[in-house]
Amino acid sequence: MTRLGIVGILLSCLAVSSSVDARDMNGKFGLGYSQTLGGVSGIQLKYYVQDFVIEGTVGFDLFKPSSLDVRTGVKGAVGVVYNFARFEIANLGVGVRADIGWRNGASASAGAIRTCVDAGGTSADCQKANMGSSVWQVNVEIPLVAELYFTDHFALNVQAGLLLTIATTRQKALPQSTGQQATDSTEKGVGFSFGGGSLFGSAGFTVYF
């Protein structure tokens, strides 16, 4: 079942439960894990201001191959979600979010270098022939977010929505690799998708204080 289907089911349940009072989240701070539609995964911070949620996500990758340079990547996202449907057990909101990713040259070129080595080239020669510069990537999202509350302090969320990707290089700073979207391409260009990847690929949790 797709994420859009799950969100639709939650929306139907909310409509049936419309007489229930909304949960008061104003002023609450949350810490948890999330993955955006554009491929930013990591620690997420949330802060509620009335019906709005200010959120930020940050992640970091580092890998040191035994015979190659260190591969590093940094990714982050910032956004705001407006909860237009609020209930005791769940909120449903729509927002806007920007994803930003950066990978160093060793990380961005890792695939080409690995292919060269597998073909019989030496690590030094393959690295010299395929090493490129670091890459940046920016995605813009309009997510539809459903957040389900188990207690006042713990919630799960899933999301679907619109994603705009602008790729200026073949190497992506925010690779998704779901195999389910045209925007997963390794080519240069502009991508637009609705829905986005697998169901639990963008699921997350939040602990509220």
Q: Mind listing the pLDDT tens digit for each residue in 58-112?
A: 998 888 777 667 878 899 999 999 999 999 999 999 999 999 998 887 777 776 6
CB 188 within 8 A of CB 37: no
The DSSP result for the chain, as a single string, is --HHHHHHHHHHHHHHTTTSPPP--TT-EEEEEEE-TTS-EEEEEEEEETTEEEEEEEEEEEE--TTS--EEEEEEEEEEEEEEEE-SSEEEEEEEEEEEEEE-HHHHTHHHHHHHHHTT--HHHHHHHH----EEEEEEEEEEEEEEESSSSEEEEEEEEEEEEEESSSS-SS----SSSGGG-SSSEEEEEEE-S-TGGG-EEEEE-
Residue 21: both structure tokens together: 């009072």
Of the listed ranges 96-110, 116-130, 136-150, the least confidently predicted one is 116-130
The CA-based angle 37-38-42, given to 5 degrees, is: 85
Q: What interhelical angle do 110-118 and 123-130 show, nearest 10?
A: 140
Q: What is the mean pLDDT of residues 109-125?
A: 70
Query: How much is the mean pLDDT over the chain?
Result: 79
Short-list 92, 83, 95, 85, CA closest to 37: 95
Q: Report the length, in residues, of the chain.
A: 209
Higher-scoring residue by pLDDT: 206, 121 = 206
Of the listed ranges 32-36, 156-160, 164-168, the least confidently predicted one is 164-168
Residue 27: both structure tokens together: 């002023």
pTM: 0.74
Q: What is the pLDDT of residue 37?
A: 87
Q: What is the pLDDT of residue 176?
A: 65
